[in-house]
Amino acid sequence: DDSPFIIHTTVWFSMRAVLSILMLTVLSTSFRVPRPAYAKAFQRKAQRTLSTTTSLPSTSLDNTPVAESASHKDFDTIKTYFIKEYGCYGTLYTHKRTKCEVLSLKTDDTNKVFGITFTTPNPASTGVAHILEHSVLCGSRKYTTKEPFVELMRGSVNTFLNAFTYPDRTCYPVASQNLKDFRNLVNVYLDAVLFPRCVKDPNVHAQEGWHLEVDKEGQLAYKGVVYNEMKGVYSSPDSLSNRECQRSLFPDNVYGTDSGGDPLDIPNLSFESFRSFWEEKYNPANAKVFFYGDDPEEERLDLLTGYLNDYADEWGESDARSAVSWQPKRFESPSVVRGKYPVGEGGGKDYVTVNWLLNDEPITGVESLKLNVLDHLLMGTTKSALRKSLSDSGLGEDVTGGGLSDELLQATFSAGMKGVAGEEGVENVQGVIEETLQRIAQEGFEEDDVKASMNAIEFQLREFNTGSFPKGLSLMLGSISGWIYGKDPVENLVFESALSELKADLEARGGEVWTEAVKKYLIDNTHKSVVIMNPDSEMEAKVVEEEKARLKAIKDGMTAEEVKEVERKMEELKELQAKEDSAEDIATIPTLSRSDLNREVEEYPLTVTSDFDGSGVTVAASHMPSTSGVVYATLGVDVSGVPLDDAPLLPLFCRVMMETGAGQYDDVQLSRRVNTYTGGVSASFSMMGVKPDGVAADVVGDGGRMLTKVFVKGKATAENTGEMLDIFRLVLTESNLDSKQRIVEMLRESKSRAEAAIQGSGHSYANSRLKAGYTVGGYLDEMMGGLSYYESVKSLLDMAENDFDQLRGKLENIRAVMLEAGKCRDGMILNVVAEDDAMSKADADLKSFLHSLPGDSKPSSTFQDFYKEDHPWTVAARSRMTGLKNEAIIVPTQVNYVGSGGRVYSEGESMPGSASVVARHLRTGYLWDTVRVIGGAYGGFCTLGQGSGVFTYLSYRDPNLAVTLDAYDAAADALMEQAENLTEEQLQTAVIGAVGDLDAALSPDQKGAVQFRRWLSGESPEDRQKYRLEVLNTNKDDFVAFAKRLKALNDKAVAVVTSKGMAEEAIKAGKEMEIVEIF
């Protein structure tokens, strides 16, 4: 687990109001909420999955009050619903005393969801809503530990537990498949938001928001979790650009402020203002409550009314509601805004983004759907009209803006580029955008492009595949995006009427629908801004010096007594943070017991057939109870014959397969075909460690046994399976490897995205850098996805620009090696997931596809047995490993990402499942308390490699460097002390949390994919069951044993992503590190 351990996130989701909340969650199988980074309205996923088709079963909407709702004495029933799109019965209630509105949806989904959302606009950038979102979960009336939320995370089997702040609302959602656990979560959340400790205890505001400290030199310093989080945000060029784009369009309403908090403004938030904001915004009348799942509705209302009545008894009844005012579309000409972003001494290039405010009054459902289709036509895929024009221009390194954002009261549209050279380039990018839109307004879109985009969106809506993300939460967020603005709470969830109306309009008016929309919303819309961000190599130093000067001025204005008061409060806070919760306080937290847990691993159906139908290809089929008529297919092709030196080309090769055209289709035509007939086709490279044959699954290795494959993945209705598989064959065998311009663009994009990721997710790069020193598997992972891969991308870009023939030759060799006729089918595997009826309908197409693949059905040679022999890459890589290093990787940043680690289990040792329980306990206990709570980092956590035995400590957006490394050094002793005094209750909590990590809620296609990966890994059901029982049976001795291993760790290494100034300070403090400047 390399993800930062973070509870709260300030987010503008890349989800759309109206229909788009549903679309995006099905658009990408890698969709995660929340992102471990602050996001603004103008951000979108950098890459979108091509997603389409038409013929999923149609549904219809009936909002007639036919559902039988629960009657409750404390609630008025306002309306009932039956939403056929999702099979939900629903009821809208209002609590009689508090006027709180409640939407209760009843389904047979066992993954139950609850959420409470408050409307929280704030006219300043102090981050009060964001800080309050962190703070209310730090103790409450009934749940009196310092952080009940963390206690829940330690001992819950939740499928979602988080909180996030939008620019105008704050959401607190939970989900669980276990009814007892679900009610525990709901109780803690309701008590937290309605009766929080933080409004009575200024120390919570100080810890989560900001406070002053006096450092060792006697100087003042700002500290606080949100303060440091936002310093990290303001170190990111993308975030700074997004912030300016938002501000530029909303000069008159709350969307022009930063709900996350500007580090310059956060210290202006007093405790009194913090408390007043809670009093004003967190009243039930200003809240929307959502329930979803198979739990009894009467019991939902009984639970809720207890808290609402208690609130009215303690705080009084109020019908005060907050509202967001409209930003008038008042610009008569575009507003030009210039800003700066920090870069290293190597310099940087410009950003330019053109933005429009689309509406200043409500828009209808059909108009919103039209905007979503228009967005898909303009920016939805790499071949969409505007996105392609920008990419093909060669004026920058990557497309920015992301197109449509309509999850708030008012919709916006943005497009631009980053990595643009100089003022002339900036002007030219604007020219490309203007010329493309003018051309579309005159000529319209190709009819086939419109058909493809309509099919894409209709497929997404009808499939409604949210993966492991709870469906109920997708529905909640979609509902809230209109509900808080006065819409009916289900209006944004239904789509049949709008879809029919848009289809009828297209039938009647054809392309005029789109030319009219482009003119209305973009060309003739003068409420527009142009945001230009210029690089500044001195900005980082200026920000640091300005903060020092500001703090010096504050101290100079203080008396000696006032400085002592700062020191007193600092010590008081640290004592509170270091103080253990009492047994009585911990006992207030509701928990499960081990008896509530399932002791058996859930296995999913998978039938593996070698030489299927005489094709020479292995087929792994998962027959699921229902996949809504969709067939999910994945073809794996072995690439172990590719030379190790060319391995970094494989991610590029996979992009080329999908983005440069294939056979008779150019790039646009290929994209159109994918969108017309399938729900998405993609290609990716995978490097997967496997269990060595004859070796127990729990024995630690060095990663030498592995599979390397290119996977082509797609989904389609059973009727269109043949089209999907033909696309598989086409991109595999006939992709265009000769598109120099597009390949150069891809590499520029990869370079730009890697640079942004290193700055924003430095913990991940530090982690891979650490692991590279211990095992050959870690070395190869870093080579294919870490800093080494970034260096490879730069070299490949130079080759593409200056010696394309050489690069093309390497790509051609990869394809030739993959498809070697006498061998390739021996290494091919097709995974198919579908319900029985869809599988039967697709059977003939599957067999035809297998026989059409390149290679001989009776291979003349075979691949080595990768479960018995080391992979060729690992043999070559071992000689290149250089050993352990302590490295400080320098980037422009105001925060640190601090990593350290070593190998707690040596090669050949058995590592039991209990080790994961102990590591998780350390992550949610000592590291959380020491690195995050006391140290002020946004995240403090650790990882344990199940197959490698490598253990790493990591921090995320950390104000400290040397101090955090010291905390890591003290972790083993702290764990030993905890282990020796571990209570049965603490042990049970640790086990429950670890089991919760094992039991995700999965969609049918995910279940098939999980079982497929299990089979590929060489694990047996018995291996998995043994591991689960070791987790369940973890005892105190296991904690002591792991602590001893951690204490004995000698071959430690350090990797940090930091600024040069902070690295030099740490070196002066005695930390040995080699400075590595990468930009």
Residue listed under structure tokens 């070559």 = 876
Q: Is the pLDDT of residue 968 over 50?
A: yes
The DSSP letter of residue 171 is E
For the segment 868-926, what is each residue's pLDDT rounded down to a tens digit? 999 999 999 999 998 899 999 999 999 999 999 999 999 999 999 999 999 999 999 99
Using pLDDT thresholds of 50, 70 and 90, give the confidence band for residue 1050: confident
For the segment 653-688, what is each residue's pLDDT rounded down to a tens digit? 999 999 999 999 999 999 999 999 999 999 999 999
Using a 10 angstrom Cβ sphere, with 0-12 exposed, 13-18 middle and 19 or more buried, the burial of residue 568 is exposed
Strands 618-624 and 607-609: antiparallel
Q: Is the pLDDT of residue 179 over 50?
A: yes
The alpha carbon of 862 is separated from its chain's Cα centroid by a whole number of angstroms, namely 40
The reported pLDDT for the residue numbered 67 is 53
Nearest residue to 657 via CA among 736, 566, 540, 742: 736
Percentage of the chain lying above the pLDDT 70 cut:
94
Percentage of the chain lying above the pLDDT 90 cut:
90
Is residue 496 part of the annotated active site? The answer reads no
The reported pLDDT for the residue numbered 70 is 80
Residue 563 and residue 213 in contact, taking contact as beta carbons nearer than 8 Å:
no
Q: How far apart are CA 811 and CA 793, in angstroms?
A: 14
Using pLDDT thresholds of 50, 70 and 90, give the confidence band for residue 554: very high
The reported pLDDT for the residue numbered 69 is 75
Q: How far apart are CA 771 and CA 903, in angstroms?
A: 9
Using pLDDT thresholds of 50, 70 and 90, give the confidence band for residue 346: confident
Residue 369 and residue 19 in contact, taking contact as beta carbons nearer than 8 Å:
yes
Among residues 85, 208, 367, 835, the one annotated as catalytic is 208
Using pLDDT thresholds of 50, 70 and 90, give the confidence band for residue 363: very high
Q: Is the pLDDT of residue 51 over 80?
A: no
For the segment 184-226, what is each residue's pLDDT rounded down to a tens digit? 999 999 999 999 999 999 999 999 999 999 998 999 999 999 9
Q: Is the pLDDT of residue 300 over 90?
A: yes
Q: Is the pLDDT of residue 68 over 80?
A: no
Q: Is the pLDDT of residue 48 over 60?
A: no
Contacts 24+ apart (CB under 8 A), 12-15: 12/39, 12/40, 12/41, 12/43, 12/166, 12/167, 12/405, 12/407, 12/408, 13/39, 13/166, 13/407, 13/477, 14/39, 14/43, 14/44, 14/45, 14/402, 14/405, 15/407, 15/477, 15/478, 15/481
For the segment 405-456, what is each residue's pLDDT rounded down to a tens digit? 999 999 999 999 999 999 999 999 999 999 999 999 999 999 999 999 999 9
Indicate the pTM of the whole model.
0.91
Q: Is the pLDDT of residue 586 over 90?
A: yes
Q: How far apart are CA 832 and CA 1004, in angstroms?
A: 12
For the segment 242-298, what is each residue's pLDDT rounded down to a tens digit? 999 999 999 999 999 999 999 999 999 999 999 999 999 999 999 999 999 999 999
Tokens coding 506:
């297209």
Write down the mean pLDDT value for the chain. 92
Is residue 133 part of the annotated active site? The answer reads yes
For the segment 708-732, what is each residue's pLDDT rounded down to a tens digit? 999 999 999 999 999 999 999 999 9
Among residues 101, 133, 407, 540, the one annotated as catalytic is 133
For the segment 735-770, what is each residue's pLDDT rounded down to a tens digit? 999 999 999 999 999 999 999 999 999 999 999 999
Q: Is the pLDDT of residue 1055 over 60?
A: yes
For the segment 589-614, what is each residue's pLDDT rounded down to a tens digit? 999 999 999 999 999 999 999 999 99
For the segment 90-107, what is each residue's pLDDT rounded down to a tens digit? 999 999 999 999 999 999
Tokens coding 369:
């759907």
Q: Is the pLDDT of residue 1053 over 60?
A: yes
Q: Is the pLDDT of residue 47 over 80?
A: no
Q: Is the pLDDT of residue 379 over 50?
A: yes
Residues 798-811 have a mean pLDDT of 98
